[in-house]
Amino acid sequence: MKFKTVISRTPLRISFVGGGTDFPDFYKLNGGKVFSAAINKYMYLFVNKYFDEKKCLLKYSQTELVKKIKEIKHPLIRNCLKLTNSWGLDINSVSDVASGTGLASSSAFTVGLLNALYSINGQFKSKEFLAKHGSEVEIKMTGSPIGKQDQYITSYGSVNEIKFLKNDKVICTKFLNKNILNEFQEYIILLDTGISMSNNKILSKFKNKIKDKKYKSQNLIEIKKLVGLFQNNLKQKNFKSCGEILNYNWQLKKSFSPNISNKYFDEMFYNLKRLGAYGAKVLGAGGRGYFLIIANKNVQNKIKKYFYKNNIIDIGFDYEGSKIVWRDNF
């Protein structure tokens, strides 16, 4: 059955450890591994049949009314429409959090749009399918210099160890103890640095660095090892050690590029530690966005008081992944 209107909801994500090992140039030689979580902040895609089936109306930060697919300026929309062979639609998106803040909004957008486009034509795809084809749209078709974890965690939801095998296979393993996760999420807050922008320049330099045969990938290998260590401490509810591992991951990550951090971020990190946070790191590629912070409630209150001018978000985990929340037939 085809539908007139479809709305998809796809979670944003936070990445604890392992980021960078999900780049093909690394995992095809060494294997990759990350530990990430989908959170209860969402990207919504509204897809309706447009009254003129020969055109598409696209509304995001800009508005486009186009007659041909090659006219579309937004590369992710253009390539999602190509992949799904879709046309004659009114597409609109709304996010709980601004884009360019290190929460994988572009991947949530891509996965959510694919979900909605297939659904409006009566095709319901698996989470693995959406993640795999979301990666294809972003990395192969659009040429974004990114890794593969974001499409998988936003599609699957929950808290996952994600392995990237040398043969390109991806294995998602959920962290199953919800009692621990319910307790752990109370220790997590996000602190807005006040900077939002595209991270493609940082990611491109990082990708080129991995490709360079002279580049020593020891720090990425070390980051990969932190995934198992983080999970072991989480299972024991040793949240302080989880924070310390987060700190170490951040220090290793900063070695990849001088643009990942700056004096402003270093000062924020110093003050977070001074106030008693167990650990912190800037999410995404760095250079902008949110600090992920692990701290007890008492320290969280101190952080909120000290950084009162910054946007601080309390979050929880999402366990559903990308889903269709509304559909209306003809």
Q: 75-123, pLDDT tens digit by residue?
A: 999 999 999 999 999 999 999 998 888 999 999 999 999 999 999 999 9
> pLDDT digit string (tens) for 11-63?
999 999 999 999 998 999 999 999 999 999 999 999 999 999 999 999 999 99
Q: What share of the chain has pLDDT > 70, as a percent? A: 92
Ordered alpha helix ranges (H), 31-94? 75-84
| Residue 304 domain boundaries | 1-330
State residue 255's pLDDT score.
83
CATH number, domain of 9, equals 3.30.230.120
CA dihedral 142, 145, 150, 155 (to 10 degrees): 20
**Percent of the chain whose pLDDT exceeds 90:** 82
3-class DSSP state for residue 196?
A: coil
Residue 212 above 90 pLDDT? no
Say if residue 259's pLDDT is above 70. yes
* pLDDT in the model for residue 215: 52
Average pLDDT, the chain: 92
Instruction: Specify the pTM.
Output: 0.93
Number of domains present in the structure of the chain: 1
Contact 82, 72 (CB under 8 A): no
Q: How far apart are the first and last CA of the chain?
A: 10
Query: In terms of C-beta density within 10 A (0-12 exposed, 13-18 middle, 19 or more buried), how is residue 133 classed?
Result: buried
**DSSP β-bridge partners for residue 191:** 291, 312
What confidence tier does 202 reach under pLDDT thresholds 50, 70, 90?
low
pLDDT of amino acid 272? 97
pLDDT of 1 over the 80 cut:
no
How many angstroms separate the CA atoms of 271 and 293, rounded?
A: 12
